[in-house]
Amino acid sequence: MNAFRRYLPRGLGGLTGLACALCCVIPFLLTAGMLGGTGFAVLGRILPGIAVALGAATGLAYWWARRRTANTTDCAGDACTCVRR
């Protein structure tokens, strides 16, 4: 479970970056003739929504992964009996 918490925000962050990069590349593909009007209509509407959704999921995954590690104020000093989970 710890590995899942560690790698989930990184993986979603990579997918978010990829979706944002694809959104930026669409006008160049249209200009170069590699993407037609129908492809632009479909991708131009879907990809920005996917990028925003992935960005929100990345933020939530980062919060979920970090929320347990932020509560370390109860355990201070050498005589700590707290168990980190």
**Is residue 80 very low, low, confident or very high in pLDDT (cuts 50, 70, 90)?**
low
Q: What is 3-62 written as a DSSP string?
A: HHHHHHHHHHHHHHHHHHHHHHHHHHHHHHTSS-HHHHHHHHHHHHHHHHHHHHHHHHHH
Predicted structure pTM score: 0.66
CB distance 58 to 9 below 8 Å: yes
Averaged pLDDT score across all residues of the chain: 80
Mean pLDDT of 17-21: 90
**pLDDT grade for 34, boundaries at 50, 70 and 90:** confident
Dig out the tokens for 18 from the structure. 């990829």
What's the pLDDT score for residue 71?
52
pLDDT over 60 at 22, yes or no: yes
Domain residue spans of the chain: 2-66
Mean pLDDT value across residues 62-83: 65
How many CB atoms are located within 10 Å of the residue 76 CB? 9
* Entry field: residues in the chain: 85
Is 53 or 71 the better-scoring residue by pLDDT?
A: 53
Q: Which amino acid is at 22?
A: L
